[in-house]
Chains A and B, each alone.
Chain A
Amino acid sequence: MNLPATKAIYKFEMARWGRTLLQSIVSPVIATSLYFVVFGAAIGSRITEIEGVSYGAFIVPGLIMLTLLTQSVANASFGIYFPRFTGTIYELLSAPISYFEIVVGYVGAAATKSVILGLIILATAFMFVPVEIAHPFWMVAFLVLTAVTFSLLGFIIGIWADGFEKLQLVPLLVITPLTFLGGTFYSINVLPPFWRGVTLFNPVVYLISGFRWSFFNIADVSPATSLAMIGLFLAICLTVVAWIFKTGYRLKS
């Protein structure tokens, strides 16, 4: 195992983030605060509680997931797309490193960033609403697993994209809608049966449900199902990454 290489990539990516730390943190915090004001205060005055949890607290896990998913994808996709764009990728390809080490470096850094952001948003939430965490261990487990899985997805997008538009397209057209429709702001149990069935094809539902369960002990689908779905999604992403490196897809001619 080429540890210095993994460390070098990880450090490099974290340093890149460090240079724009203020905007990296400030913008999600402001966005989340706005959600609290708009959804928590405005809607929360109509819907006071869902399944025994105050509406303001109910949306916290969903809001963290929203940031976690978008930031994981954005960070990881940009991290690997940028060297492809500038041409510095030649160095990664010619270094004595395995694909596993490359992925650990990039995905590890992207996941770290989004976990940190997730925790910052959680801290922000505490300023607005009282939040209890029923299963802290599972909360962290869901947080980390989701960050890793979506960073892998971002990594794949960063390799697939052949322009900055495509890089932004997937988060914009896929991740954000799926998150909004995945029960960030409501329990999918309130939907009519047909739409509830459709929603079950949205993988984000399982993430939010499991994550919410770790907070409030309430869930749209069972936590075990949530965990299995994350595991499945993780396995799919890992398979795609392995295939990318095996074939050199978009990396080697």
Chain B
Amino acid sequence: MSPKQQPILSIKGLSKTYASGFQALKRINLDIRKDEIFALLGPNGAGKTTLINIICGIVKPSAGSVTVDGHDIVTDFRAARAMIGLVPQELTADMFETVWTTVSFSRGLWGKWENPDHIEKVLKDLSLWDRKDSKLMTLSGGMKRRVLIAKALAHEPTVLFLDEPTAGVDVELRKDMWENVRSLRASGVTIILTTHYIHEAEDMADRIGIINKGELVLVENKAELMHKLGKKQLTLQLHDSLDAIPVGLAAHHLTLANGGSELVYTYDTQGPRTGITNLLTDLAGAGIRFKDLDTTQSSLEDIFVDLVRQR
């Protein structure tokens, strides 16, 4: 980062111990760059929501500090919060309100006077315009999620937090949502999203931070992270079980599984070539036939296991 470019969000030594005595965050240090999409990746219970809720003012920090564009979230909360939009993890809604009133309400809360043109644009961008007069209780889960996004965008934030934005949203709508997120970034909004799906982080983020048990385990550019961690496995279900891997296939570092009825090949998705073509050619050459095949990507859990082992 060039010295001139201040981080838009700066977290220093942030810790949180809940009243129960449970320590949910352990001395988190993190800088978010302006205009990036940052994915906070971690299993359930890692502390993602706690971190976001502290920054947004919903949970009290136990130690440490956070600044948004130089404004401290406690001593200068008005300036800090005015820049932030939050789409919470839980689908909460004023069931009896209409889309229009609830979104306009949010704009007011953030200290901006009515601006029907802006609300109209937000609702149209999120394909909610034709439902603007519908009561929230009549909307599907995916639509409610988009209403929450509209509420967060109603006051034109410069930093947007999306806490597990795809939970309960079907695949079709996810694509639209990612499109929206990308165009928001293009319009100058910095986006911080949380997810426990690695492929989501992979699809969207410029940088990824991995959080586990309240600790920020690493922060890396996506490309580098995927290179380091993104392994895939190809499993071939064989016609005839093998007792041992034929010597001619040794170069592929295969393993036998399931009592010899399966061959497993591990490869690097980010490598220059996967080696699958060569493998299949060599298999045919060795006269090994297979009924079916299956690929699996290393899960976040695997990655954690790897990470923990490395440290």
Residues of A within 8 A of B (CB): 2-5, 7-9, 11-12, 15-16, 19, 83, 86-88, 90-98, 248, 252-253
Contacts and interface: CB of A to CB of B under 8 A. Distances in A.
A19 B95 CA distance: 13
B101 interface: yes
Return the 8 tightest CB-CB contacts between A and B, nearest first.
A8-B108, A87-B92, A96-B81, A94-B56, A95-B109, A96-B78, A2-B111, A96-B82
B111 A5 contact: yes
Interface of B: 18-19, 56-60, 77-82, 84, 86, 88, 90, 92-96, 101, 104-113, 151
**Among B58, B90, B94, B151: residue with most chain A CB under 10 A:** B58
Nearest to A92: B109
A13 to B, nearest CB: 11
28 contacts: A2-B111, A4-B107, A4-B108, A4-B109, A4-B111, A5-B108, A8-B107, A8-B109, A12-B101, A86-B93, A87-B88, A87-B92, A88-B92, A88-B94, A90-B88, A90-B92, A91-B151, A93-B56, A95-B109, A95-B111, A96-B77, A96-B79, A96-B81, A96-B82, A97-B111, A252-B59, A253-B59, A253-B60
A15 B110 contact: no
B116 to A, nearest CB: 14
A151 B237 CA distance: 71
B92 A93 contact: no
A125 B80 CA distance: 52
B63 to A, nearest CB: 15
Contacts of A2: 78, 111
A111 to B, nearest CB: 20
B58 A93 contact: yes
A101 B79 CA distance: 16
A126 to B, nearest CB: 35
A16 B95 CA distance: 12
Contacts of A7: 108
Given A8-B105, A9-B109, A90-B86, 17 more contacts: A4-B109, A4-B112, A5-B110, A7-B108, A8-B108, A12-B101, A16-B96, A83-B94, A86-B94, A87-B88, A88-B93, A90-B88, A91-B106, A94-B56, A95-B109, A96-B77, A96-B78
Nearest to A93: B58
A250 B79 CA distance: 25
Contacts of B59: 252-253
Contact of A93 (B18, B57, B113): B57
B67 to A, nearest CB: 15
A106 to B, nearest CB: 13
A83 B106 CA distance: 13
Contacts of B94: 83, 86, 88
Contacts of B110: 4-5, 95-96
Nearest to A86: B92
A4 B113 CA distance: 6
A248 B113 CA distance: 28
A9 B94 CA distance: 13
Contacts of B107: 4, 8
Contact of A248 (B60, B101, B106): B60
Contacts of A15: 101
Contacts of B90: 87
Contacts of A83: 94
B18 A253 contact: yes
Contacts of B101: 12, 15
Contact of B84 (A5, A87, A94, A98): A94
Contacts of A96: 77-82, 110-111
A209 B113 CA distance: 43
**Among B93, B105, B151: residue with most chain A CB under 10 A:** B105
A62 to B, nearest CB: 34
Contacts of B113: 4
A56 B88 CA distance: 55
Contacts of B18: 253
**Among A2, A9, A11: residue with most chain B CB under 10 A:** A2
Nearest to A102: B109
